[in-house]
């Protein structure tokens, strides 16, 4: 809870910092804010507290996911240093929007009440609509913002409609009350409840970028400035999937039988569309967008299995996925800025010109592909284990086949970096970003060699 | 402790090699590989051959929450393969001394890193640890072949990588499934897998999940299509690693993780597996006969030889399995030697075309002797290493089914056809403008080939040195299978 308050205050303080002449102070300050918030979050560990008349709980689940989100933001920031030198004067506002959106994210993982979930989603999303369009002179960025905003508000409306129906069926927004009502489902109210559930489900599916409501992802990701794309595909996704998981487990565990087929269908569809879509891309950024769709699919496997392993698996996977994705987007930003292209070809020969960048990218790709020695491997292993405990072998076979497809497009980057002739000169990377990249690699490998340090938390 | 040292040392050495600038890297790598060889010999000396259980056992908690342990150890089967690895690796590194590869420190670090994976695979006694090392061995060879290979390296190595990962994901699924069948708080230890009682239907599909993973690696027909291209395109050191050691991972996997874990599945599908293997024997040999490129010829001959080993695996007879063990060693030694000789000839003449050669014998007697010994080992002439292995294997297959034994026996005839034909055309006859200036072996080249030649005779004349090591372990394995 402290982190929620701190981040709100820091966001406002940061707006005032924007009045200062030098923009150089901004990033260090925001990083400090985030570090303090991370510390405050961890202080809540094993000390569950409920706030706002039972509308918000800071239990270990919320602490875990909050920590992943704050840490991810902390890792993303160093890659935005270039913005500080740009003529663009709104840096403070962008950082504040990120902090505010984090507040929304925390509400999405700690909610005990559907209103809180709704407010969280809105706080997070509205910030993102603006950030998507923050590259004002770029027509793609404008398009991304518009598309994201229109689609996002439309789906928020659907969620709201669903919440209203649930209220009609159960007489409450409270998760526990809804859960009780769902367990003793009353035949008269059943259609109302299930309809409400379906609408909320559709809305959240949109937010996490799962098929069939994924279509906005590639365009929005492509147009959004890379730093914010990185934020979108990690923090927003983590918040969305945690909210999704919490909703299904805390409120609708009783009607598991009813929603299971829908969620499984969405999962399989997401895996297929994400992976097969990624193969067809020529732009690295669009590939990462499709890859993020596919990872939503892997994460949703935990939803379908739904046992005591899946909660841990989802947290571990979120962290592993976020770390690797941030590294990938961070490097993509440098390469794309320097070589004026985000196609695979822009990465040609990076192994020769920038061994560090190429190495970090390789580890990130291996992790996303789920190869051992990286966190991504154990992420997948834990998710698959959770599902296999539930005897869903066929689903795992689909996921395995899709993982093999994933190797195809992740390795294209590695091939471009090491096996092609350089596409340009050496790219200069500032010290902070290099340090962050090294930290990301260390974290990925640590998760891949000693997963127990991170596992078994929840 | 010794097992952990064997696994860790190459990884540490790989990091050291990375720090070395320039062509000095190869010397450091060679030194590191020699240290590893000494460690291997130390393990051999202290090994109690009468004991069928795993020795030098290390059992540390790793992922406690999931019951996954860092459990490694060596029984006779593991020891032989570890010895093969530590014996071949310095020779493989030495064989590259005359090449000046670009970015040498990366090249040699990858080779050493791969050794960590290989030793890990051969000693792991936990399913996830095994999988872990399996992939650790795969990544370096992908880069070795992809970065330092021939013209089509990118497409070819990518195909190889996709194939292998696809297979290993199925292995992973099977392991996870087995893991959940273990009682109580689940564990992925090998011994727990051996105790599982699974119904025949389950074992039937588990067999295929595991078989595909291992069959791709060996490779068994029809999962072999990646192999000739990859062997031809990879740099010679990579080809040696792939054929000499890495394909043994597949065979070892069947031996350790397939046969004893799903014996009912094996009894249902053994005939199919053996038939596929025998098709591979004949098919590989016939295609080898038609090859013009020496490297591709050896690559196809390898499919043929491995086919016989695979057939022996599924006979579940003591002769068959002992034959598998000894033939793994022999094949590793012969094929590494042959690939090296082809590399030498290519270096000297600039081509691998059989038709372009002739009369090398007159110019390079030492090379001729080494080539002949290794070639005769490959065609299984009595007194050479190949004979012992193929004899035991054919005996095993014959016991399983006489007809199959007869067809599998074609390997000896066909092998003689393509090997002798190649040898004759390359080595004998008149010299031409290419071979006119051919020079005999240098000291380094001799240093690689002489130990291999010695091993050909050692195994051929006194196979019991090695058969005795694996015998108790094979017996124990058969006990588990026939429980």
Q: What is the distance, to the nearest Å, from the Cα of residue A270 to the centroid of all Cα atoms in its chain?
A: 15
Whether A237 contacts A296, CB under 8 Å: yes
CA-nearest of B290, B293, B288, B322 to B304 is B288
Q: How far is A270 from chain B (nearest CA, A)?
A: 20
Nearest residue in chain A measured CA to CA from B153: A419
How distant, in Å, are the alpha carbons of A332, A375, B429 from that of A35?
Answer: 25, 23, 78
Return the H-helix or E-strand segment holding B74: strand B68-74
Nearest residue in chain A measured CA to CA from B151: A419
Return the H-helix or E-strand segment holding A453: none
At A126-142, the pLDDT tens digits run: 999 999 988 888 888 88
Rg (CA), chain A: 21
Using DSSP, state whether B85 is helix, strand or coil: helix
Give the span between the Cα atoms of A25 and A77, in whole angstroms: 13
- β-strand B55-63 against A49-51: which pairing, if any? unpaired
Whether B266 contacts B481, CB under 8 Å: yes
Tokens 């072996």 correspond to what residue?
Answer: B441
Q: Is A398 on the interface with B (CB under 8 A)?
A: no
Chain B residues inside the 8 Å CB shell of A385: 66, 176, 179-180
Model confidence at A187, pLDDT cuts 50, 70, 90, reads low
Chain B residues inside the 8 Å CB shell of A393: 173, 177
Task: Look at residue A299 in the predicted model and tell me its pLDDT.
Answer: 92
Cβ distance A418 to B179 less than 8 Å, yes or no, reads no
For residue A188, pLDDT over 70 is answered with no
Cβ distance A418 to B128 less than 8 Å, yes or no, reads no
Cβ distance B173 to A397 less than 8 Å, yes or no, reads yes
Nearest residue in chain A measured CA to CA from B63: A452
Give the span between the Cα atoms of B413 and B425, in whole angstroms: 18
Model confidence at B90, pLDDT cuts 50, 70, 90, reads very high
Is the four-CA dihedral B186, B189, B195, B199 of positive or negative sign?
A: positive
Task: Look at residue B483 in the predicted model and tell me its pLDDT.
Answer: 76
Give the span between the Cα atoms of A102 and A194, in whole angstroms: 30
Q: Is A382 on the interface with B (CB under 8 A)?
A: yes
CB-nearest partner of A389 from B146, B170, B180? B180
∠ CA A196-A200-A206, rounded to 5°: 150
Model confidence at B12, pLDDT cuts 50, 70, 90, reads very high
Q: In the A/B pair of chains, how many CB contacts fall below 8 A?
A: 74
Mean residue pLDDT of chain A comes to 88
CA-nearest of A436, A143, A395, A449 to A271 is A395
For residue A82, pLDDT over 80 is answered with no
Cβ distance B172 to A400 less than 8 Å, yes or no, reads yes
At A392-401, the pLDDT tens digits run: 888 888 888 8
- Compute the residue count for chain A: 458
Cβ distance A372 to B147 less than 8 Å, yes or no, reads no
Give the span between the Cα atoms of B66 and B17, in whole angstroms: 35
Cβ distance A393 to B173 less than 8 Å, yes or no, reads yes
In the DSSP assignment, the letter for residue A329 is H
Q: Is A384 on the interface with B (CB under 8 A)?
A: yes
Token reading at A214: 């994924």
CA-nearest of B115, B209, B204, B220 to B169 is B209
Chain B residues inside the 8 Å CB shell of A415: 146, 154, 158
Q: Minimum mean pLDDT among B85-94, B220-229, B459-468: which range?
A: B220-229
Nearest residue in chain B measured CA to CA from A391: B177
* Distance in Å from the first CA to the final CA of chain A: 18
Chain A residues inside the 8 Å CB shell of B154: 415, 419
Cβ distance B136 to A372 less than 8 Å, yes or no, reads yes
CA-nearest of A165, A286, A304, A114 to A216 is A286
Say what percent of chain B tops pLDDT 70: 100
My answer on whether omega of the bond before A243 falls inside 30° of 0, hence cis, is: no
At A102-115, the pLDDT tens digits run: 999 999 999 999 99
CB-nearest partner of B65 from A400, A408, A455? A455
Model confidence at A203, pLDDT cuts 50, 70, 90, reads very high
Give the span between the Cα atoms of B194 and B257, in whole angstroms: 9
CB-nearest partner of B176 from A377, A384, A408? A384
3-state percent helix, strand, coil for chain A, nearest multiple of 5: 80, 0, 20
Average pLDDT over residues B144-165: 84
Give the span between the Cα atoms of A310 and A384, in whole angstroms: 9
Using DSSP, state whether A113 is helix, strand or coil: strand
At B369-426, the pLDDT tens digits run: 999 999 999 988 888 998 998 999 999 999 888 898 888 888 888 888 899 988 888 8
User: In the Cβ-directed half-sphere of B92, how many Cα atoms lie within 13 Å?
Assistant: 33
In the stretch 334-373 of chain A, residues with CB closer than 8 A to chain B read: 366, 371-373
- Give the burial string for B9-41 (b: 16+ CB within 10 Å, else e): bbbebbebbbebeeeebbebbbebbebbbebbe
Chain A residues inside the 8 Å CB shell of B143: 418
How distant, in Å, are the alpha carbons of B4, B42, B121, B145 from that of B12?
Answer: 12, 19, 17, 22
Q: How far is A320 from chain B (nearest CA, A)?
A: 16
Cβ distance A407 to B63 less than 8 Å, yes or no, reads no
How many CB atoms are located within 10 Å of the residue A147 CB?
18
For residue A185, pLDDT over 80 is answered with no
In the DSSP assignment, the letter for residue A111 is B
Cβ distance B166 to A404 less than 8 Å, yes or no, reads yes
Cβ distance B65 to A388 less than 8 Å, yes or no, reads no
Task: Look at residue A339 in the predicted model and tell me its pLDDT.
Answer: 86
Model confidence at B196, pLDDT cuts 50, 70, 90, reads confident
Is the four-CA dihedral A386, B164, B112, B465 of positive or negative sign?
A: positive
For residue A165, pLDDT over 90 is answered with yes
Highest mean pLDDT among B79-83, B162-166, B225-229: B79-83
Task: Look at residue A458 in the predicted model and tell me its pLDDT.
Answer: 55
CB-nearest partner of A388 from B128, B135, B176? B176
For residue A88, pLDDT over 60 is answered with no
Q: How far is B106 from chain A (nearest CA, A)?
A: 11
CA-nearest of B458, B41, B258 to B467 is B458
Average pLDDT over residues A69-86: 80
Task: Look at residue B181 in the predicted model and tell me its pLDDT.
Answer: 85
Ramachandran angles phi, psi of B394, nearest 5°: -65, -35
Q: Is A415 on the interface with B (CB under 8 A)?
A: yes
Task: Look at residue A302 in the predicted model and tell me its pLDDT.
Answer: 87
At A391-436, the pLDDT tens digits run: 788 888 888 888 888 988 998 899 888 888 887 788 888 888 999 9
Q: How far is B17 from chain A (nearest CA, A)?
A: 16
Task: Look at residue A393 in the predicted model and tell me its pLDDT.
Answer: 80
Cβ distance B173 to A371 less than 8 Å, yes or no, reads no
Q: Minimum mean pLDDT among B119-123, B160-164, B443-447: which range?
A: B160-164
At A260-319, the pLDDT tens digits run: 899 999 999 999 999 999 998 999 999 999 999 999 999 999 888 877 778 888 999 999
In the DSSP assignment, the letter for residue B189 is B
For residue A186, pLDDT over 80 is answered with no
Q: What is the DSSP string of B419-453?
A: HHHHHHHHHSS---TTGGG-----HHHHHHHHHHH
Tell me the pTM: 0.87
In the DSSP assignment, the letter for residue A80 is G
In the DSSP assignment, the letter for residue B143 is H
Which one of A415, A422, A451, A456 makes the best mutation probe of the B interface by having the most chain B beta carbons within 10 Å?
A415
Model confidence at B189, pLDDT cuts 50, 70, 90, reads confident
At A317-371, the pLDDT tens digits run: 999 999 999 999 999 998 988 888 888 888 888 888 888 999 999 999 999 998 8
Nearest residue in chain B measured CA to CA from A417: B147
Chain A residues inside the 8 Å CB shell of B234: none
Task: Look at residue B63 in the predicted model and tell me its pLDDT.
Answer: 79
For residue B274, pLDDT over 70 is answered with yes
Task: Look at residue A232 in the predicted model and tell me its pLDDT.
Answer: 92
Q: Which residues, listed in sequence order, are joined to residue A113 by a DSSP beta bridge?
A: A174
Task: Look at residue B334 in the predicted model and tell me its pLDDT.
Answer: 92
Task: Look at residue B374 in the predicted model and tell me its pLDDT.
Answer: 92
Q: How far is B122 from chain A (nearest CA, A)?
A: 17
- H helix count then E strand count, chain A: 20, 2
Chain A residues inside the 8 Å CB shell of B132: 372-373, 377
Using DSSP, state whether A343 is helix, strand or coil: strand
Mean residue pLDDT of chain B comes to 88
């Amino acid at each position: 809870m402290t982190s929620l308050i701190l981040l709100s205050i820091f966001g406002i303080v940061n707006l005032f910092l924007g009045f200062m002449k030098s923009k150089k102070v901004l990033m260090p300050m925001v990083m400090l804010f985030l570090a303090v918030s991370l510390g405050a979050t961890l202080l809540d560990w094993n000390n569950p507290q409920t706030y706002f008349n039972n509308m918000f709980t800071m239990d270990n689940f919320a602490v875990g996911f909050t920590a992943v989100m704050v840490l991810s933001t902390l890792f993303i920031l160093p890659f935005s240093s270039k913005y500080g030198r740009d003529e663009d004067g709104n840096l403070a506002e962008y950082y504040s929007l990120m902090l505010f959106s984090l507040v929304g994210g925390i509400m999405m993982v700690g909610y005990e009440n559907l209103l809180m979930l709704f407010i969280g989603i809105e706080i997070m999303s509205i910030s993102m609509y603006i950030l998507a369009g923050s590259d004002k002179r770029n027509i793609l960025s404008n398009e991304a913002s518009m598309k994201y905003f229109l689609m996002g508000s439309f789906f928020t409306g659907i969620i709201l409609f669903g919440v209203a129906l649930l209220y009609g069926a159960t007489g409450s927004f409270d998760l526990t009350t809804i859960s009780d009502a769902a367990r003793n489902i009353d035949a008269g109210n059943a259609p109302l409840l299930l309809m409400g559930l379906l609408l909320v489900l559709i809305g959240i599916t949109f937010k996490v970028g799962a098929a069939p409501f994924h279509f906005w992802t590639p365009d929005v990701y492509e147009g959004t400035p890379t730093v914010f794309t990185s934020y979108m595909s990690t923090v927003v996704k983590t918040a969305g999937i945690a909210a999704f998981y919490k909703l299904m487990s805390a409120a609708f565990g009783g009607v598991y039988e009813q929603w299971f087929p829908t969620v499984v269908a969405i999962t399989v569809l997401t895996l297929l569309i994400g992976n097969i879509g990624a193969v067809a891309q020529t732009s690295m950024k669009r590939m990462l967008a499709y890859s993020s769709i596919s990872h939503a699919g892997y994460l949703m496997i935990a939803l379908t299995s739904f046992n005591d392993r899946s909660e841990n698996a989802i947290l571990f996977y979120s962290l592993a996925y976020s770390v690797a994705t941030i590294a990938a987007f961070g490097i993509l930003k440098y390469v794309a800025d320097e070589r004026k292209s985000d196609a695979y070809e822009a990465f040609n020969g990076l192994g020769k010109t920038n061994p560090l960048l190429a190495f970090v990218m390789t580890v990130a790709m291996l992790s996303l592909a789920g190869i051992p020695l990286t966190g991504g491997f154990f992420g997948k292993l834990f998710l698959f284990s959770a599902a296999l405990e539930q005897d869903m072998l066929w689903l795992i076979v689909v996921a395995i086949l899709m993982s093999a497809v994933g190797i195809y497009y992740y390795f294209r980057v590695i091939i471009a970096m090491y096996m092609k002739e350089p596409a340009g000169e050496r790219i200069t990377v500032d010290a902070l970003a290099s340090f962050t990249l090294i930290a990301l690699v260390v974290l990925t490998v640590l998760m891949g060699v000693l997963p127990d340090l991170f596992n078994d938390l929840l | 402790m010794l097992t952990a040292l064997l696994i860790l040392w190459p990884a540490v050495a790989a990091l050291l090699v990375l720090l070395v600038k320039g062509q000095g890297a190869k010397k450091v790598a060679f030194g590191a590989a020699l240290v590893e060889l000494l460690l291997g010999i130390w393990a051999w000396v202290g090994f109690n051959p009468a004991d069928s259980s795993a020795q030098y056992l290390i059992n540390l908690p790793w992922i406690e929450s999931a019951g996954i342990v860092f459990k490694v150890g060596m029984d006779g089967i593991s020891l032989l393969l570890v010895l093969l690895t530590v014996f071949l690796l310095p020779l493989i590194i030495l064989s590259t001394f005359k090449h000046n590869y670009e970015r040498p420190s990366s090249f040699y670090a990858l080779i050493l890193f791969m050794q960590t994976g290989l030793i890990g695979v051969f000693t792991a006694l936990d399913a996830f640890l095994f999988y872990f090392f399996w992939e650790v061995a795969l990544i370096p060879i992908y880069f070795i072949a992809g970065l330092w290979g021939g013209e089509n390296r990118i497409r070819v190595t990518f195909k190889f990588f996709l194939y292998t990962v696809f297979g290993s994901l199925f292995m992973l699924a099977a392991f996870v499934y087995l893991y959940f069948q273990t009682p109580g708080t689940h564990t992925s230890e090998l011994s727990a897998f051996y105790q599982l009682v699974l119904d025949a239907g389950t074992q039937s599909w588990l067999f295929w999940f595991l078989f595909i993973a291992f069959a791709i690696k060996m490779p068994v027909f029809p999962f072999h299509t990646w192999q000739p291209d990859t062997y031809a395109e990879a740099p010679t050191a990579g080809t040696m690693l792939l054929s000499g050691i890495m394909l043994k991972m597949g065979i070892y996997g069947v031996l350790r993780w397939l046969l004893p874990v799903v014996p009912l599945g094996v009894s249902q599908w053994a005939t199919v597996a053996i038939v596929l293997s025998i098709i591979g024997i004949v098919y590989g040999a016939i295609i080898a006969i038609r090859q013009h490129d020496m490297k591709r010829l050896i690559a196809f001959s390898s499919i043929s030889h491995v086919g016989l080993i695979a057939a022996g695996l599924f006979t579940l007879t003591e002769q068959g399995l002992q034959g598998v063990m000894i033939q793994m060693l022999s094949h590793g030694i012969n094929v590494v030697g042959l690939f090296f000789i082809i590399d030498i000839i290519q270096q000297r003449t600039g081509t691998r075309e059989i038709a372009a050669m002739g009369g090398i014998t007159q110019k390079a007697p030492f090379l001729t002797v080494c080539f002949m010994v290794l070639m005769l080992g490959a065609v299984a002439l009595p007194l050479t290493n190949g004979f012992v292995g193929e004899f035991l294997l054919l005996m095993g297959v014959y016991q399983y089914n006489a007809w199959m034994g007869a067809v599998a026996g074609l390997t000896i005839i066909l092998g003689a056809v393509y090997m002798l034909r190649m040898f004759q055309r390359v080595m004998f006859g008149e010299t031409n403008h290419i071979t006119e200036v051919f020079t005999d072996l240098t000291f380094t080249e001799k240093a690689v080939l002489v130990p291999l030649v010695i091993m050909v005779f050692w195994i051929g004349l006194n196979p019991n040195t090695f058969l005795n090591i694996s015998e108790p372990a094979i017996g124990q394995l058969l006990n588990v299978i026939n429980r």
